[in-house]
């Protein structure tokens, strides 16, 4: 047998092994693809819950540029933009998401939320109307309550707020919204009760503390409530009470509260200093 013929089977064997290696490699890659998706999903969840909004936006923008057809990445970027206070930029993404065959009712609710943040109440209401009434979730009732408020449908707002508060173990934010709704309607005592309840669920919710001061001030009570607060928060709340007093014609009380706010704040409280200076100049 010639040397070439003797070598030919060995060459075929090498080629066969190479082809086998390629096949095995492709099989392994295909097998690992779901694992990559799982890893990416876990990372996406982390970015949505633990990362800062700006970090999450950067991550989803980068990943979506590499895989532009993935609805989960569009959804993640839209949510991150809303978290970052950039709801206007999120709207085109939400439009793409809800037009996708894989869209969910939750996506439509998130789109409605972004529309509300952008001030487009009618469009938000239209989106919620497309969701079956049988879907009864905290988020759905929270948004319905806000829209009812915007339409001045007070009875509906009350009903939606009450239902939303009962559907979550963390109702502080919805109780705060409910309280603000009552505050704008002139029900200052009812608003005060809701703000206190919101703070009982979340003692760090400064917005509820600030609204509580406004509700009490509307009733002529400018003393700070007995809730937990930092020194900086105390100064800020005194400033809020001072401005409320001044708006209601209690200028002397407002001046005293501004001075107290300035003394309380651990740093220079510029906004209160300027307000007090303006009062003194007008005196």
Predicted confidence (pLDDT) per residue in 145-173, tens digit? 999 999 999 999 999 999 999 999 999 99
Residue 16, pLDDT above cutoff 60: no
Q: Grade residue 30 by pLDDT with cuts at 50, 70 and 90.
A: very low
Which pLDDT does position 111 carry in this prediction?
97
What is the per-residue pLDDT across 199-227, written as a single tens digit (0 to 9) for each? 999 999 999 999 999 999 999 999 999 99
Mean pLDDT, to the nearest integer, of 102-107?
Answer: 94
More confident residue, 22 or 279: 279
Residue 280, pLDDT above cutoff 60: yes
Is the pTM higher than 0.85? The answer reads no
Any idea which of 35-49, 114-128, 181-195 has the lowest mean pLDDT?
35-49
For residue 231, give both structure tokens. Answer: 């020194």
Q: Grade residue 81 by pLDDT with cuts at 50, 70 and 90.
A: very high
Burial call 257-278: b when 16+ CB within 10 Å, e when fewer: bbbbbbebbeeebeebeebbee
Q: Grade residue 283 by pLDDT with cuts at 50, 70 and 90.
A: low
* Mean pLDDT (the chain, rounded): 87
Which pLDDT does position 44 carry in this prediction?
76
What is the per-residue pLDDT across 234-258, written as a single tens digit (0 to 9) for each? 999 999 999 999 999 999 999 999 9
Q: Grade residue 43 by pLDDT with cuts at 50, 70 and 90.
A: confident
Cβ 205 vs Cβ 199: under 8 Å: yes
Cβ 108 vs Cβ 130: under 8 Å: yes
Which pLDDT does position 131 carry in this prediction?
95
Mean pLDDT, to the nearest integer, of 106-125?
Answer: 96
Mean pLDDT, to the nearest integer, of 61-89?
Answer: 93
Which pLDDT does position 39 carry in this prediction?
55
Which pLDDT does position 282 carry in this prediction?
72
Q: Is 272 helix (H, G, I), strand (E, B) or coil?
A: helix
Cβ 242 vs Cβ 214: under 8 Å: no
Burial call 207-234: b when 16+ CB within 10 Å, e when fewer: bbbbbbbbbbbbeeebebbebebeeebb
Q: What is the largest CA-CA distance in the chain?
A: 118
Residue 113, pLDDT above cutoff 90: yes
């Amino acid at each position: 047998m010639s040397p070439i013929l003797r070598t030919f089977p060995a060459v075929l064997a090498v080629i066969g092994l190479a082809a086998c290696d390629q096949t095995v490699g492709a099989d392994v890659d295909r097998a690992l693809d779901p694992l990559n998706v799982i890893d990416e999903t876990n990372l996406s969840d982390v970015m949505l819950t633990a990362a800062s909004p700006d970090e999450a936006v950067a991550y989803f923008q980068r990943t979506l540029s590499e895989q532009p057809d993935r609805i989960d990445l569009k959804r993640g970027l839209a949510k991150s933009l809303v978290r970052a206070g950039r709801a206007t930029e999120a709207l085109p993404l939400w439009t793409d998401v809800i037009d996708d065959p894989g869209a969910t009712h939750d996506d439509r609710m998130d789109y409605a939320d972004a529309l509300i943040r952008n001030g487009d109440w009618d469009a938000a209401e239209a989106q919620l109307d497309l969701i079956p009434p049988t879907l009864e979730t905290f988020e759905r009732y929270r948004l319905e309550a806000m829209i009812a408020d915007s339409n001045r449908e007070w009875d509906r707002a009350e009903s939606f707020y009450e239902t939303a508060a009962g559907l979550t173990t963390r109702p502080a934010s919805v109780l705060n919204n409910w309280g603000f709704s009552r505050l704008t309607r002139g029900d200052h005592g009812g608003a005060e009760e809701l703000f206190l309840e919101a703070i009982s669920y979340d003692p760090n919710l400064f917005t509820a503390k600030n609204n509580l001061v406004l509700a009490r001030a509307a009733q002529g009570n400018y003393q700070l409530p007995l809730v937990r607060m930092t020194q900086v928060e105390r100064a800020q709340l005194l400033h809020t009470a001072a401005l409320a007093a001044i708006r209601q014609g209690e200028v002397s009380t407002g001046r005293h509260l501004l001075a107290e706010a300035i003394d309380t704040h651990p740093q220079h409280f510029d906004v209160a200093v300027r307000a007090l200076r303006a009062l003194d100049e007008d005196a």
